[in-house]
Amino acid sequence: MGFKSMQKKDYSESPKTADDFVSSATGETALSEIKKSKKKLVTVYLSLEIIDRLNLFVETEAKRSESKSVIVEKALEMFLESRLSK
């Protein structure tokens, strides 16, 4: 049993500079999608008990596509609808 020989890569192209790399990098969500979104970042202080309950829910009950943000948004929307409908 022997080792396979590795194929040599062609490094004749000049490597990108750090600035070129950063400027051409893309993330999972395009900036244009974020700008089109009708959402705004809001910072909210929550009790540790609520955070623990949220984490437990995410780990045990939430669907894969549900993030903490989505869960909190849905819960807040349900709460507000129940209050406004009275």
Q: Give the DSSP letter of residue 54.
A: H
- In the chain the first and final C-alpha atoms are separated, in Å, by 77
- Sequential pLDDT tens for the chain (86 residues): 567 776 776 666 666 677 776 666 666 555 566 567 788 888 999 999 999 998 888 888 888 778 888 888 889 999 999 998 86
